[in-house]
């Protein structure tokens, strides 16, 4: 028996439109992907003449173009959201068109959440059917809960039932998202097995079930470093196609990612553009990559790695904070002094061990490097 009584999309999106009249530049501090990039999605849908899986807003090809960027026949430029191997995106998108769910795996800050949001936005036009995984995520967050006032007044009924985002996605043939799957306790994770293999969610209290309609699929993200917190059961893992998101392969790629995202974030915070900031961005990326990899860029000096992850995401926030400092307390030009404190904060997580690592890097590498004198001085100032 299938019962699709949760058709709230239209109401939901209308409510959202009213709350955020000018998506992208409007009031929401962080608009959803489908709102920020509404124009691009519209242009893609108009240009897209390839077959679309049922209930998909776009064809798999157009979804991949949305993520990777490109120029449409009518000249519309689609900005790249994900910078990385094309094949990864193609496999991820294709998975969503099959009966297997998608698991995005990777170290922190490799854009798992970011890719998941954009995939859901492009495929279903809605990235908000989201379950945030934590150690305290209850089964109700994945299945359904009850409106207790209604439940007490009228007994269990469809009206008293509060569907989870996963249940709504099933009923509407949309993309559901589960963030940080491995943080969820194992028995709660297992709730997903029936959903993913039988494509149904039983409601024993009502003697009913909600069957997934075509178009439903699920994207989960999990952190490599959390492995061991709650290992994915092999039964559940089999229901997923796993796609590993790598760290940026080259310094240029990482600089490209950081500068792109900093520009977008800066615009949303009304920070002035900082085209002169490229040198500092390159420097932040160099420091992060060297310490992360445990070796200098020229391959000559071995380094100790600090305990933090020094992810691309952290590089982005170091530069964004630096820009804000430059804008509010400097002359608007991003300089060494604006990023030094941020770098120190990202590197020295463990005050004892990491400080030693940082000092050694500072004295043996930063100090000796041509053109890094200002940066060395700025770092000495904040390290003192």
Ligand X SMILES: Nc1ncnc2c1ncn2[C@@H]1O[C@H](COP(=O)(O)OP(=O)(O)OP(=O)(O)O)[C@@H](O)[C@H]1O
Residues that bind ligand X (CB under 6 A): 82-84, 106, 108-114, 221, 223, 248, 257, 261, 312-313, 316
Q: Which residues of 212-246 are buried (b: 16+ CB within 10 A; e: fewer)?
A: bbebbbbbbbbbeeeeeebebeeebeebbeebebe
Binding footprint of Mg ion, residue count (CB under 5 A): 2
Name the residue nearer to ligand X (CB basis): 208 or 268.
268
d(CA 185, CA 231): 9
Name the residue nearer to ligand X (CB basis): 2 or 132.
132
Name the residue nearer to Mg ion (CB basis): 59 or 116.
116
Shortest Cβ 314–Mg ion spacing (Å): 13
d(CA 131, CA 16): 19
Determine the number of helices (DSSP H) and then strands (DSSP E) in the chain: 18, 11
d(CA 82, CA 110): 10
Q: What is the DSSP letter of 97?
A: T
Name the residue nearer to ligand X (CB basis): 112 or 239.
112
Q: Which residues make beta-bridge pairs with 241?
A: 102
Q: Which does 211 bind (CB under 5 to 8 A by kind): ligand X, Mg ion, none?
A: none
Q: Which two three-digit tokens encode residue 57? A: 């807003």
According to CB under 5 A, which residues from 1 to 20 bind Mg ion?
none
Name the residue nearer to ligand X (CB basis): 157 or 268.
268
Select from 111-119, 206-214, 242-250, 280-288 the region that touches Mg ion (CB under 5 A): 111-119
Shortest Cβ 346–ligand X spacing (Å): 13
Shortest Cβ 310–Mg ion spacing (Å): 16
Shortest Cβ 235–Mg ion spacing (Å): 24
**Judged by CB under 5 A, does residue 211 bind Mg ion?**
no
Name the residue nearer to ligand X (CB basis): 247 or 379.
247
* CA distances in angstroms from 381 to 1, 90, 275, 376, listed in the order given: 69, 47, 26, 9
Select from 19-27, 42-50, 110-118, 182-190 the region that touches Mg ion (CB under 5 A): 110-118
Contact present, 173 and 97 (Cβ < 8 Å): no
Shortest Cβ 246–Mg ion spacing (Å): 15
Q: Three-class SS of residue 75? A: coil
Shortest Cβ 105–ligand X spacing (Å): 9
**Judged by CB under 5 A, does residue 197 bind Mg ion?**
no
Shortest Cβ 182–Mg ion spacing (Å): 12
Q: Which does 223 bind (CB under 5 to 8 A by kind): Mg ion, ligand X, none?
A: ligand X
Name the residue nearer to Mg ion (CB basis): 32 or 112.
112
d(CA 140, CA 119): 25
Q: Which residues of 17-46 are buried (b: 16+ CB within 10 A; e: fewer)?
A: eeebeebeeeebeebbbbbbbbebbebbbe
Residues binding Mg ion (CB under 5 A): 112-113
């Amino acid at each position: 028996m299938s019962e699709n009584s949760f058709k709230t999309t239209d109401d939901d999106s209308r409510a959202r439109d009213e709350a955020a009249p000018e998506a992208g530049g409007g009031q929401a501090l962080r608009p959803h992907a489908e709102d920020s990039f509404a124009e691009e999605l519209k242009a893609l849908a108009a240009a897209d003449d390839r077959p679309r899986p049922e209930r998909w807003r776009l064809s798999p090809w157009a979804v991949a173009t949305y993520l990777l960027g490109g120029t449409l026949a009518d000249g519309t430029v689609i900005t790249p959201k994900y910078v990385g191997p094309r094949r990864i995106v193609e496999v991820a998108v294709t998975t969503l068109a099959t009966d297997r769910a998608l698991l995005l795996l990777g170290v922190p800050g490799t854009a798992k959440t970011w890719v998941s949001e954009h995939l859901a936005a492009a495929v279903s036009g809605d990235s908000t059917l989201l379950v945030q995984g934590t150690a305290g995520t209850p089964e109700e967050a994945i299945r359904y809960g009850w409106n207790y006032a209604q439940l007490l007044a009228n007994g269990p009924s469809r009206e008293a039932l509060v569907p989870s985002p996963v249940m709504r996605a099933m009923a509407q043939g949309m993309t559901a998202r589960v963030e940080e799957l491995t943080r969820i306790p194992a028995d709660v994770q297992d709730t997903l097995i029936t959903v993913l293999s039988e494509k149904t969610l039983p409601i024993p209290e009502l003697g009913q079930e909600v069957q997934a309609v075509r178009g439903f699929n699920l994207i989960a993200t999990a952190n490599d470093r959390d492995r061991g917190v709650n290992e994915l059961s092999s039964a559940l893992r089999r229901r997923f196609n796993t796609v590993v998101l790598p760290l940026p392969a080259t310094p240029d790629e990482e600089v490209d990612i950081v500068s792109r995202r900093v520009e977008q974030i800066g615009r949303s915070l009304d920070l002035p553009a900082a085209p002169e900031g490229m040198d500092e961005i390159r420097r932040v990326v160099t420091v992060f990559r060297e310490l992360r990899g445990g070796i200098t860029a020229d391959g000559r000096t071995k380094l100790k790695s600090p305990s933090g992850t020094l992810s691309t995401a952290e590089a982005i926030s170091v530069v964004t904070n630096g820009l804000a400092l430059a804008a509010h307390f400097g002359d608007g030009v991003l300089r060494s002094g604006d990023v030094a404190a941020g770098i120190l904060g990202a590197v020295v997580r463990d005050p004892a061990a990491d400080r030693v690592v940082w000092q050694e890097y500072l004295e043996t590498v930063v100090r000796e490097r041509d053109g890094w004198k200002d940066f060395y001085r700025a770092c000495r100032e904040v390290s003192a």
